[in-house]
Amino acid sequence: MAHQVLLSKPENKNLARFYISMMKRIATRLVMKLHPSIKRAICKKCDMLLIPGITATVRIKAHRQKHKVVQCVECGKVKRFVYNPNHILWVDKPEAVYHPQEMEDKRVAKSMQETQGKPSKETDKASSSKVT
């Protein structure tokens, strides 16, 4: 929504800021994490949506490592991101996806192995008390 507001009328920066702050507030109340691509598009200091050429300047620099520098036009806050075309965000990796059914199946299988392989402590105590 904030993106459409800024593209239609770049003067409506306060309205775009309001939409961004509401999104962040709702995510906080619902204990949700924002996707990294969304976080990268928002200025941490002034809650402005960073659109290259409108609300942000973007440069590629290669001092030590090649990185992208995004500077907010409103407040001057700078964000730096390492430029690596092979980099995959952890959120996008397959092991980041939580599958509750698979986790439950693994837990049940593990408990079944433990109960079949080892006698329980109660049966050990009962057998030791009969011997003496």
Report if residue 69 sits inside a domain: yes
- Asked whether residue 71 is assigned to any structural domain, the reply reads yes
Residue 9 lies in a domain: yes
Q: Average pLDDT in the 54-73 region? A: 90
Residue 125 domain-assigned (yes or no): no
Closest CA to 48 of 8, 11, 20, 89: 20
Nearest partner of 38 among 3, 74, 8, judged by Cα: 3
For the entire predicted model, the pTM comes to 0.62
Q: What is the pLDDT of residues 2-41, one digit of tens each?
A: 777 777 787 788 888 999 999 999 999 999 989 888 898 9
Phi, psi of 85, rounded to the nearest 5 degrees: -65, -20
The sign of the torsion formed by the CA atoms of 114, 115, 119, 125 equals positive
Is 124 inside a domain boundary? Answer: no
Determine the average pLDDT of the residues in 106-120: 73
Domain region containing 26: 2-117
pLDDT in tens, 68-100: 999 999 999 999 988 888 888 877 888 777 777
In a domain, 33, yes or no: yes
Which of these, 44, 35, 42, 38, lies nearest to 16 by C-alpha position?
42
